[in-house]
Amino acid sequence: MNIGIIGFGIQGRIRLQTIQKWNGPHRVTAICDTVEPSESDLCGAKYIDRYQDIIKDDNIQAIFVCTPNFLTAPVVVAGLNDGKHVFSEKPPGRTLDETRQMAEALERNPRCKLMFAFNHRHHESVMTAKRVVDSGDLGDILWMRGRYGKSVVPEFGGSWRAQRKYAGGGILLDQGIHMLDLFLLFLGDLLEVKAYVSNLFWKLDVEDNVFAIFRNNKGQVASLHSTMTQWRHLFSMEIFLTKGHVILNGLLTSSGTYGEEELSIARNRFYAGPSVSWENEEKTTYGVNTSWENEMRLFFECIEHDIPVPECNIADALKVMELVDRIYSEGSNAT
């Protein structure tokens, strides 16, 4: 396939590098951005200054949408309406309504594949955690806790991400949405939502903190703290089950600021009383982030074999944006 990349910031460059690293049958032939990249950055692709020209190019079969949030829905919809396969960065639009617009476009063009970049699902650590939980060896999930936060610099206030009309929201759409997606992966539909949304420190047009708690129809509970007033970068996902726990601390990302990615798995030790021993805890540290390759390989396989996108698809996008919508609605009185 010939591929067009629309938006050539950090994510667009990661997509190009990943495709090039494979040295496979697919190649990036066109790149669109508001600023023309250097010839060396283009790596043989041609620069296009209007994304519409990439979408209308009959020689391009798939597009990667790596734009700011306010452009995601119109570019995805245009791509689908022109018969292109589309891989889009998260979030899937600024609002649930924009996600529904993409769903309607896909329904009109069912031969197209649409996948969203919820790449945390594709980390080897998360995939291992899912296999362990699904095996039943550690019993049933009791509860989950997710913390995902970072610090931002004062200049952040001048960026498009700090303006609701462009971003749609703050730290929840930027980072917390990944943890929401993982909650849905492990717990299924979350029917009850309670949330507090605030911007006490930065006082921007978007939130800097979200505290939310969820419950599914089995009574399993998950809690989320998504923050940009945490003066260090931190990722932590904890799953406690009837017979043990699975804990992921740290995450390998393009920024390299979240520390080592370490997965801990252990059976419960309540029989030991207050003198808890950690001798039987299995720990694995991951030194390479393969999530970019894993998710893109899945996208290409779905196109090549003409099979439905099994995850990170439009149904998953709608579910996570429904949660986002309910969090903002529930927590709006606290902003």
Binning the chain into helix, strand and coil, the percentages to the nearest 5 are: 40, 25, 35
In a shared domain, residues 182 and 43: no
Residue 279 neighbours by CB distance under 10 Å: 6
In a shared domain, residues 141 and 245: yes
pLDDT per residue as tens digits for the range 47-60: 999 999 999 999 99
Q: Looking at the DSSP assignment, which residues form a beta bridge with residue 3?
A: 28, 62
In a shared domain, residues 274 and 175: yes
In a shared domain, residues 24 and 93: yes
307 belongs to a structural domain: no
223 belongs to a structural domain: yes
Tell me the residue range of the domain where 28 lies. Answer: 2-118
pLDDT per residue as tens digits for the range 237-262: 999 999 999 999 999 998 889 999 99
pTM of the model: 0.96
Task: Assess contact for 106 and 185: CB atoms under 8 A.
Answer: no
Q: Final residue of a domain: which of 68, 83, 118?
A: 118
pLDDT per residue as tens digits for the range 214-234: 999 999 999 999 999 999 999
CATH of the domain at 59: 3.40.50.720
Q: Final residue of a domain: which of 66, 95, 118?
A: 118
How far apart CA 55 and CA 180 sit, in angstroms, is 31
Question: Cα dihedral sign for 163, 165, 166, 172?
Answer: positive
302 belongs to a structural domain: no
106 belongs to a structural domain: yes
In a shared domain, residues 79 and 128: no
